[in-house]
Amino acid sequence: MLGKFYGIGVGPGDPELLTLKAYRVLQEVDVVCVPKSASDRESLALSIINKVIKRQFTTMELSFPMSRDRQILEEHWAMAGEMVAQLVREGQKVAFVTIGDPMFYSTYGYVRAYLQKNYPDLPVETIPGITAMSACAAALEEPLATGEENLAVIPAAYNLKRLEEVLDNFDNVVLMKVNRYFDRVLELLRDKGLTERAALVSRCGYPDQMVSRKVTDLAGKKLDYMSILVIHKGGR
C-alpha cells in the first residue's frame, strides 16, 4: 500500500505559528525530511517542530547545495525525489518540512515537480504555512498593501537594474534574502530617496528578532540570512 508525501510549511520561526493542520499531520508521519545546504548548521524547520511535537520520528536529511548551476541542482532534486519515492512506495508517510510556506521560494516545489513527472501515482498533499513576509508585516504593525496598492516580492539577488525597475513600478516592495546584497540595495534606496520608507526585519519570530526602521544605520553590518526588507513608497 502506498504511503503519502506531505509538504509542510512550519511558519517563519515562532513555534506558535505552526498551523493546526501541520501539527496534526506531523503527529502522524513516519519520516520527516529535513532540507539542508552545506552551510546550514542546523535545520531551522526541524528546530521549530521539535519545540511543539513531543514524539519520536525518523529524520532524513536531503542535501541541496547553494548553487546556481542548474544541472547540479537538478541532480540533487532528483536524488531527493528518489529517496522520497522509495519511502512512500514502502507505505510510509513522509513530510518535507520547510520554513514559511512550501509553495513560496521553497525547494519543496522542485522535489514535488520531480515526483509529479516521474511518479504521478504517488499521493501528495501540500500544507501551507505562514510566510515570513506576513510575519514581518505583523512585526512592523504595517500592512503589506492596502486598497489599490500593488505589491512586488522578489529575491534581492536580482541585479540592481531589475530592482530599480521594480521600485519604479510598484507601490510596495518586499525584498527576500537581502543580507548579502544589503549595502548595494541601500545605495539604490538612497538614490531614490526611499531610505525613510524602508524597514528591515531579521529573524522574525525568533527570540533574537530584530526590527529596524532606520535602515541607514545597518550599512556595512553583517545581517542574518533570514532578513527581509519592506519598502512602502507611499509611507505609512
User: Would you list the domain boundaries of the chain?
Assistant: 4-127, 132-232
Superfamily of domain 132-232: Tetrapyrrole methylase, C-terminal domain (3.30.950.10)
State how far the Cα of 45 lies from the Cα of 51, in Å rounded to an integer.
10
What percent of the chain has pLDDT above 90? 74
DSSP 25: H
Q: Which amino acid is at 9?
A: G
State how far the Cα of 122 lies from the Cα of 83, in Å rounded to an integer.
13
Q: What is the mean pLDDT of the chain?
A: 91
- Is the pLDDT at 158 greater than 90? The verdict is no
Do 18 and 136 touch, CB atoms closer than 8 A?
no
- Please report where in the chains the cell 516545489 appears, as a residue: 109
pLDDT in tens, 68-109: 778 988 898 999 999 999 999 999 999 999 999 999 999 999
Q: Mean pLDDT, to the nearest integer, of 2-26? A: 95
CATH 3.90.650.10 is right for the domain spanning 4-127? no
Do 114 and 120 touch, CB atoms closer than 8 A?
no
State how far the Cα of 216 lies from the Cα of 229, in Å rounded to an integer.
12
